[in-house]
Structure 1
Amino acid sequence: MRSIEWSSGSWRQPPVRVTEEPDGSLSVEPAAGSDLWRHTSYGFVHEDAPALLAPFPTGSAVEVDLRLDYAEQFDQAGVLVWVDDRNWVKAGVEVSDGQPQVGAVVTRESSDWSVAPVPDWAGREVSVRVSRCGDALTVRARVAGEPWRLVRLAPLAPDATAFAGPYCCAPSRAGLTVRFTGWRHGSPDETLHPDPPH
């Protein structure tokens, strides 16, 4: 994987504030009430989360690192894969019901949502990896020093023009700041399932 400079991405929706820190990390403050969601269960459409995007061709992978130091309801950050306003995937860690949850939202006209609690990830550096290979996106996540966990397998047409990169949003409050510590691009995962031990 090779690092992507923050300056080589383009903001799909600009944040309230963005600062490149002396250590090379990027601090991003999303607007209060910002979110990404279409219709399902809640009945609303939101598409105003800030996301720093670069081209994401098939046969590649993107990784984003972030500090999981946010703790308010629905605070979230991770990777956004954007095709258009009706077709996109966001994956990362969102605070829900009092604890961090790793998960993904896959949107094709309407959004769905899947989560799994990861309370032991709080306060640590999280990496989110999305591989694009053939007609699929494979989403994985981990904290530093631990194995990748499969989060989601989702469809994406091989000929779709897509962009991907770090995103964050704060659906229920003002004042969230997310610190992104890395952004990389490289080769996708070769297989969905690792070889079993012999």
Structure 2
Amino acid sequence: MEVKNIPWATGTWTTPPVSVLEEDGALIVQGAEGSDYWEKTLYEFQHTNGHALLAPWEDDQGVEVTFRLDSFTELYDQAGLMLWVSPLQWIKAGIELNDGIPHIGAVVTDEYSDWSLSPVAEWAGATVTIRASRMGDAVIIRARTEEKPWRTIRVARFPHTSGKQAGPFLCAPTRAGFHVTFTGWRHTLADVDLHTDPPVSS
């Protein structure tokens, strides 16, 4: 398949954000204070009130979300790509501000959440693309900036063959007023190999 841009209106919000504005093709979204996704692990709490804009996602498609980091200033400000099957089975992958530094990472949830992350201080203020593609019983998650090439950030078990949805997400666990500018949401060809970078879509 060719690259297919997904209209913002195609998606449905899991939890409506504070505000949504479409401007010059971009989607500017403000998250609610205290919004997040997490299930039990370590902290014991459950958060299911993050904001994810979801549309169907098929096995033969890669899915990508592009967004800007210029608004990330406070602890746990986060945005990226959500892969969704149910409230207890999902993956969020993207950028999260931790101790003043942007980190790239993923939370993989199957009744319990786990969290992997790595600092990317050099990405501060950049425009980032997060990508996911299923292969076998797993999903390959990659990320890049406009200046930096693809980086594989996670291979996670994701055996779901039906009912999958995916799209942009943001959460504002610690503050009001956090907004994210999403500049792209697209379906592409699925990955052909774990060790072969996909092409760069625009």
1:89-168 to 2 correspondence within 5 Å? Answer: 89-168=91-170
- Letter aligned with residue 43 of structure 1: E
Structure 1 CA distance for aligned equivalents of residues 9 and 163 of structure 2: 21
1:51-66 to 2 correspondence within 5 Å? Answer: 51-66=52-67
- Tell me the equivalent position of 2:177: 175
Query: How far has the Cα of 1:109 moved from its partner?
Result: 0.8
State whether residues 59 and 134 of structure 1, in contact with CA within 8 Å, keep that contact through their aligned partners in structure 2.
Answer: no
Structure 2 CA distance for aligned equivalents of residues 180 and 158 of structure 1: 27
Structure 1 CA distance for aligned equivalents of residues 195 and 166 of structure 2: 23
Q: Deviations over 1:96-119 (max 9, x none)?
A: 111000000000110000000001
- Letter aligned with residue 85 of structure 1: P
Q: Deviations over 1:129-180 (max 9, x none)?
A: 0112321111000110321000100111142421000000000111001000
Identity across the alignment (%): 51
- Tell me the equivalent position of 2:68: 67
The list of structure 1 runs, each at least 4 consecutive aligned residues, that deviate by more than 6 angstroms after superposition, is none
SS at the partner of 2:122?
helix
- Tell me the equivalent position of 2:45: 44
- Tell me the equivalent position of 1:194: 196
Q: Number of residues paired by the alignment?
A: 194
Question: Which sections of structure 2, spanning at least 5 residues, go unmatched?
Answer: 198-202
**Which of 73, 76, 79 in structure 2 is aligned with 1:77?**
79
The alignment's TM-score, normalised by the length of structure 2, stands at 0.93
Q: Deviations over 1:62-114 (max 9, x none)?
A: 10000011121000000000100110000000001110000000001100000
